[in-house]
């Protein structure tokens, strides 16, 4: 910085820090790689991995460690973890291993690492999701906050100028109106963590008009009204909205849909888990989307990726969890 007399005046150190922080807060992340790169700039977190004896999981946490994003505590069969790591040429020297053979006990121990403050992120390994979630949802675990838990997925799809978020594809089979409100609020938190200050939320249905015979249209309109009344904050909610109108500006214009969300949705809220699951897998397998996903609503981000997901998807989910944990002090 120069004075009026041409003399160089150094910026105070705290000013530089504040400028960097401000830049971080205003940049909207538009690719999965940008999420990873942002995570590298933050203080590394610690992951508690339940039933960690899986090659894709071990590969993901090792890549996260090497990138400086996160370390990990591996809970599970030590013998199997070491055997898989050796076959996959993964070094375990930087990881703490807690040797527990029983999968239910391993899940409970991983959860306790969060509540004890030893880890910041909980991750599912090679374990049935229902068993893992039973440990997460256990009232005695201390992980619940009283809020609804919901999954939030993010996909980077070729040809789109932004990341597409969707919820809920894993936790709530048939969410009622109140649960959908919490699903929106959880998804908005994740959107804020990737730099979207006022995300546009499309509450999906098969049509844009309320139909008494289609329950999802009724819920969608009520959620839109709640947003207009300030009862759902930090976003713009529109509903009911068909998928084409939510993501395509051309479709929105052609159908005369006049709403800021039309063609510009950041978050897609699906009517039920079945729709969410099909939507996610369609993005991955048909569109070859790069994806990440977490469960939010507990005291820490929870990674519940499918056992068939690649180490890349698991790494993406770790990076997203780091951003959410940092944003909300988890």
Domain holding 206: CATH number? 3.40.718.10
Alpha helices in the chain (DSSP H): 13-26, 32-40, 55-66, 78-87, 103-115, 129-137, 177-193, 215-228, 243-247, 249-254, 273-285, 311-327
Are residues 278 and 210 located together in one domain of the fold? yes
Is the peptide bond prior to 311 cis by the omega test (within 30 degrees of 0)?
no
Q: Which of 53, 67, 66, 70 is nearest to 121 (CA)?
A: 70
State the pLDDT at residue 10: 54
| CA–CA gap between residue 154 and residue 110 (Å, rounded) | 25
Measured CA to CA, the distance from residue 24 to residue 116 in angstroms comes to 30
CATH value at residue 115: 3.40.50.10950
Same-domain pairing of 101 and 44: yes
For residue 171, give the 3-state DSSP assignment: coil
Examine residue 23 and state whether it is found in any structural domain, yes or no: no
Are residues 180 and 287 located together in one domain of the fold? yes
Angle (CA) 327-328-329 rounded to 5° is 100
Q: What is the pLDDT of residue 7?
A: 52
Say yes or no: 135 and 167 in one domain: no
User: Do 136 and 161 reside in the same domain of the chain?
Assistant: no
Domain for residue 16, yes or no? Answer: no
Q: Is 116 exposed, middle or buried (0-12, 13-18, 19+ CB in 10 A)?
A: exposed
Residues 219 and 270: their CA atoms lie apart, in Å, by: 11
Q: Tell me if residue 244 falls in helix, strand or coil.
A: helix
pLDDT per 10-residue tile (average), the chain, 330 residues: 50 49 66 97 98 96 97 98 97 97 98 97 96 94 91 94 95 96 98 97 96 96 97 97 96 94 97 95 93 96 86 96 94
Report the relative pairing of strands 150-156 and 164-167 from DSSP bridges.
Answer: antiparallel
| Contact criterion met (CB below 8 Å) for 136 and 304 | no
> What pLDDT is stored for residue 134 in this prediction?
95
Contact 123, 154 (CB under 8 A): no
Asked if residue 54 is part of any domain, the answer here is yes
Is 113 domain-assigned? yes
Residue 140 sits in the same domain as residue 169: no
**Residue 21 counted as domain residue:** no
Tokens 């249905």 — which residue?
205
Task: Count Cβ neighbours within 10 Å for each residue of 216-246 and write b for 16 or more, e otherwise.
Answer: bbbbbbbbbebbeeeebebbbbbbbbbbebb
For residue 277, with 0-12 CB atoms within 10 Å meaning exposed, 13-18 middle and 19 or more buried, which class applies?
middle
Contact 120, 45 (CB under 8 A): yes
Per-residue DSSP letter, 2: B
In this predicted structure, what is the pLDDT of residue 5?
A: 52
Q: Are residues 130 and 216 in the same domain?
A: no
3 is a domain residue? no
Q: In this structure, what token pair is assigned to residue 53?
A: 């004896």
Tell whether 156 and 285 lie within a shared domain: yes
Asked whether residue 12 is domain-assigned, the answer is: no
Claim to verify: residue 162 and residue 290 sit in the same structural domain: yes
Residue 226 within a domain: yes
Are 135 and 76 contained in the same domain?
yes
Range of the domain at 180: 150-296
| 124 in the same domain as 109 | yes
Contact assessment for residue 138 and residue 280, using Cβ atoms and an 8 Å cutoff = no
Radius of gyration of the CA atoms of the chain, in A = 21
* 118 plus 89 within the same structural domain: yes
Domain total of the chain: 2
């Amino acid at each position: 910085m120069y004075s009026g007399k041409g003399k160089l005046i150094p910026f105070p150190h705290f000013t530089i820090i504040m400028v960097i922080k401000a830049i971080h807060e205003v940049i909207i992340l538009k690719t999965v790689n940008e999420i990873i790169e942002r995570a590298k700039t933050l203080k590394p977190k610690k992951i508690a991995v339940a039933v960690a004896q899986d090659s894709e999981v071990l590969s993901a946490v090792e890549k996260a460690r090497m990138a400086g994003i996160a370390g990990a505590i591996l809970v599970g069969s030590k013998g199997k973890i070491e055997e898989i790591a050796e076959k996959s040429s993964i070094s375990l020297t930087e990881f703490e291993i807690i040797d527990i053979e029983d999968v239910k006990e391993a899940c409970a121990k991983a959860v306790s690492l969060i509540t004890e403050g030893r880890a910041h992120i909980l991750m599912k390994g090679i374990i049935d999701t229902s068993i893992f979630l039973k440990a997460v949802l256990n009232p005695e675990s201390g992980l619940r906050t009283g809020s609804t838990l919901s999954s939030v997925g993010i996909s980077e799809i070729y040809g789109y100028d932004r990341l597409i978020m969707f919820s809920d594809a894993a936790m709530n089979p048939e969410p009622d109106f109140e649960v959908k409100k919490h699903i929106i609020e959880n998804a908005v938190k994740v959107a804020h963590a990737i730099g979207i200050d006022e995300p546009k939320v499309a509450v999906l249905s098969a049509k844009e008009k309320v139909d008494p015979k289609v329950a999802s249209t009724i819920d969608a309109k009520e959620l839109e009204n709640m947003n207009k009344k300030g009862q759902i904050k930090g976003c713009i909610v529109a509903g009911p909205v068909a998928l084409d109108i939510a993501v395509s500006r051309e479709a929105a214009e052609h159908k005369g849909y006049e709403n800021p969300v039309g063609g510009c949705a950041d978050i897609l809220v699906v009517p039920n888990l079945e729709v969410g699951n099909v939507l996610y897998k369609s993005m991955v397998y048909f569109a070859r989307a790069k994806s990440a996903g977490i469960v939010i609503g507990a005291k820490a981000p929870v990674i519940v990726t499918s056992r068939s997901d690649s180490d890349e998807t698991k790494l993406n989910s770790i990076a997203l969890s780091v951003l959410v944990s940092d944003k909300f002090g988890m």
